[in-house]
Structure 1
Amino acid sequence: MIKFVLDCLLLLPLLLVFILESLLKSFIPKKRKSVTGEIVLITGAGHGIGRLTAYEFAKLKSKLVLWDINKHGLEETAAECRKLGAQAHAFVVDCSNREDIYSSAKKVKTEVGDVSILVNNAGVVYTSDLFATQDPQIEKTFEVNVLAHFWTTKAFLPAMMRNNHGHIVTVASAAGHTTVPFLMAYCSSKFAAVGLHRFNPLNTWYSMPLAHLNFSLCRLCENSLGPTLEPEEVVSKLMKGVLTNQKMIFVPSSISAMTVVERIFPERFLAVLKRKINVRFDAVIGYKSKGE
């Protein structure tokens, strides 16, 4: 025990150096990278955040690969991207189906090329308590919100490694950092997605200049901390994070403070605080399957 404490004390100078480095970097404007010509795959691109993100990449002349289960919405997104001057390839994909993901990934590699920016955006949410949530709904929540991230990463990461170039974006949620009433399955799946992203296998297995972004998203959510966020504002923050290789973004930024508070304050106080904040979600985030 004493040896452990001494070893920790020896790390203090290093900690101070890194803190100073981080403070200095915060005052230096981050240079934006070019994504012109990059092959960008976005799941859940048929509407909402996925659609708006596709439009932003289209304006930057990226080559779009769009996935969604909703064919009509997908084709609308692709058509608008083409009007913006970008190439757009639409694939109807069920992100709750592993084999559909793998087979579609093979088609993308053959017909379009190696994906260099992967945006795992598709998501589904059911608003009910544990006993009112049907078993298939719980399964679908995990299949789309986290298991799909495993399958897409396994499908496209090898090419990024070979090319020594790539970027993986995880569109998670504030519910992946703090609990929300009547969203047990959703919160659990998003906690898993955040955990997967924090593991960051690129940095663990290889020392490569590949950037991971965990975009923590609180979309169409009401609370007493501030006004409801508009999708356009959220996507603007997302794009800034991608183009400047930021590791994690909280939207709204107050969610970041909430994650710290939960680790410090007593449980009874947290219960009162959450009632005061009164978070309410009123929309599906990023993905909506047929019949929902």
Structure 2
Amino acid sequence: MASSLKSSKELVVFLGKSMIAFLESLIFTIIPKPRKNVAGEIVLITGAGSGLGRLLALRFARLGSVLVLWDINKEGNEETCRMVREAGATRVYAYTCDCSQRENIYRVAEQVKKEVGDVSILINNAGVVTGKNFLDCPDELIEKALDVNFKAHLWTYKSFLPAMIANEHGHLVCISSSAGLVGINKLADYCASKFAAFGFAESVFMETIVQKLKGIKTTIVCPFFIKTGMFEGCSTARPFLLPLLEPEYVADKIVDGILTDKVYLNVPKFISFVLFLKSILPVKMAVLTADYMGAFNVMDSFVGKNKKN
């Protein structure tokens, strides 16, 4: 009897909290959520030497953040550093880091802690793509995709999350992909790495909730393909439904998501509809629908190279 009453009480509490969460979500859909101030925050961006990483750095520079830029391309990273200073940043630090190498990440992370301080916003953006059929993809390129797109997240979290927990203040940002939600032609290795990055970020988010870690925020970003050098030559089958995205638009959405502490960010929102169809339709119908809308067969004109963003 006591066990039954306890279960009933837990169910009522669960339903009550769910209703509150739903109403809160509904309110913030109608009324824009307040944006937090990130002036003075130490923001580390991997893959900052070009593309989306560079655009994110420029936006945080204008918001008054301290920038820590990581990239394997020293020249590109230094160019971003120059642009960020011109955009108004007064404290910018550029580090050459190979995010496919765990020990390299740990070494550079220690430099950052000593020379800059505790990172409060970590943006795992670095990525590579091959664009080949799975059986045509060399082993070393598959390993590279997993190392950069997924494993690097493990090592950066291990490096910077402890200080965030100690300070009760921090924000973890995972740049995954729509390819981390839906399987895509010629992207088996890329999808595997992005699915893993998504699952890892979501699991750590759940840990922060269960362990009641205060002040630790998470944002998991899943954009469709972006018009950067990483996806040069890529086309979408249904551009009127899922067009290739402008980098500036995606950067704005990501920054807005971070400033409003949004946990899940699909860009465009139409991605969420594709996932909904995938979950409710029979497998064959779901595949046909997603293929028609351009969610699966987008790589027909992609030039297969090992590219970085």
Does residue 245 (structure 1) correspond to residue 248 (structure 2)? The answer is no
Q: Which amino acid aligns with 1:269?
A: M
Letter in 2 for 1:245: D
Q: 1:173 aligns with which of 150, 174, 177?
A: 177
Q: Which runs of 5+ in 2 are unaligned?
A: 227-234
TM-score, normalization by structure 1: 0.91
> What's the CA shift for 1:32?
0.8
Q: Distance in 1 between matches of 2:17 and 2:85?
A: 50
Q: Find the counterpart in structure 2 of residue 78 from structure 1.
A: 81
What is the CA-CA distance between 1:12 and the residue it aligns to?
A: 4.4
* Structure 1 match to 2:282: 266
Question: Contact 1:219–1:231 at 8 Å: present in 2 too?
Answer: no
Matches of 1:114 and 1:189, distance apart in 2: 27
Deviation at 1:16, TM superposition (A): 3.8
Equivalent position of 1:218 in the other structure: 224
How far, CA to CA, are the matches of 2:120 and 2:189 in structure 1?
31
Moved more, 21-30 or 235-244: 21-30
Matched, 1:95 2:115: no
1:118 counterpart (111, 116, 122): 122
Deviation at 1:14? 4.8
Alpha-carbon contact 1:219-1:234 (below 8 Å) kept: no
CA distance in 2, matches of 1:21, 1:156: 31
| Runs of 4+ off more than 3 Å | 6-18, 281-284
Amino acid at match of 1:222: T
- Does residue 145 (structure 1) correspond to residue 135 (structure 2)? The answer is no
2:214 counterpart residue number: 208
User: Which amino acid is the alignment partner of residue 207 of structure 1?
Assistant: L
* Runs of 5+ unmatched residues, structure 1: none
Question: What's the counterpart of residue 63 of structure 1?
Answer: 66
Q: Is 192-201 or 102-111 further displaced after alignment?
A: 192-201
The answer to whether residue 70 in structure 2 is matched with residue 39 in structure 1 is no
Give the 3-state SS of the residue equivalent to 2:199 in structure 1.
Answer: helix
- Alignment length (residue pairs): 283
Which one is further off, 98-107 or 215-224? 215-224
CA distance in 2, matches of 1:149, 1:176: 14
* 1:17 Cα deviation from its structure 2 partner: 4.2
User: Are the counterparts in 1 of residues 165 and 213 from structure 2 also a CA contact under 8 Å?
Assistant: no
Deviates more, 1:267-276 or 1:65-74: 267-276
